[in-house]
Amino acid sequence: MVRMNVDEASSLVDSLKRQGIVRSRRVEEAMLRVPRELFVWPGTEHRAYEDIPLPLDDTGQTISAPHMVAIMLEALDVKPGNQVLEIGTGSGYNAALLAELVGRDGKVVSVERLPELVEFARSNLKRAGYLDRVEVVLGDGSLGYPPRYEGPLYDRVTITASAPRLPRYPVAQLRDGGILLVPLGPPGYQVLTRVRRRGNSYSSEELLGCVFVPLVGEDGYGPGGLDII
Ligand code: SAM
């Protein structure tokens, strides 16, 4: 795999380490292995290692800022061999990092509601060499995947768009011992929330304030980010 700028990637990751954002060796190595320039929209490659979200063309969606990606990966504590559900594929960058973290024995399923981003993410993941470990699905991830199925399936669920409340199906699809992350709150300001399942009990903790685009779907926001449910 060819990285266009090793120096820029290292200096970004070093800065995230100094700030205490990248804390584990596993997340550090994953971020050094996945070339972010292969996942940003064409024409913005020169900004790939700035710690900012970048627009994904005119879809109104973004590839999240590296610090937010790292915060979520650290909070998710992904183990080798885990089955992971990501809701909000966007560029496919976070899915590639998850693929690094689960390794060859694990699996990442990532759901995206916009067909053009499904295509974009698949082609980025293919170029970067991760498509064999990541299944990108077109659909409404607010219903989990498969939609509405309630059996425990995933060790980790990460929702990279903001929800008005805990979406019930993704929570129901957590395996015992599983962890789910979701930014909860209205458009403009949310609280990154971590849910843990132990047996049949669920606990949640608020981690930090954040700003994500809305989770638009049947158990999310309506178009425009309005809570219509
Ligand atoms: N994880 C992405 C990455 O690495 O580039 C960034 C995700 S972006 C901040 C949020 C994504 O969630 C957008 O691509 C948006 O289209 C998607 N999204 C919003 N609502 C969704 C839903 N109900 N199901 C699946 N994807 C959804």
Please tell me the total count of domains within the chain: 1
- Ligand 1 centre to CA of 17 (Å) is 26
Q: What is the CATH number of the domain that holds 45?
A: 3.40.50.150
Confidence of residue 4 (pLDDT cuts 50, 70, 90): low
Determine, yes or no, domain membership for 224.
no
- Ligand 1 centre to CA of 90 (Å) is 5
Nearest CA to ligand 1 atom 2: 90
Determine, yes or no, domain membership for 145.
yes
Q: What is the pLDDT of residue 227?
A: 60
Q: Tens of pLDDT along 73-131?
A: 999 999 999 999 999 999 999 999 999 999 999 999 999 999 999 999 999 999 999 99
- Mean pLDDT, residues 202-218 taken together: 96
Residue 123: phi and psi, rounded to 5, are -70, -35
Instruction: Give the span between the Cα atoms of 3 and 37, in whole angstroms.
Output: 8
Q: Which atom of ligand 1 is nearest to the CA of 111?
A: 25
The answer for residues whose C-beta is within 8 angstroms of residue 85's C-beta and 6 or more apart is 108, 109, 110, 111, 141, 144, 145, 153, 154, 156, 157, 158, 170, 173
Range of the domain at 150: 6-213
CA 72 to chain centre: 8
Active-site residues, by number, are 64
Q: Residues lining ligand 1, judged by CB closer than 6 Å?
A: 61-64, 87-88, 90-91, 93-94, 111-114, 117, 140-142, 160-161, 212-213, 215-217, 220
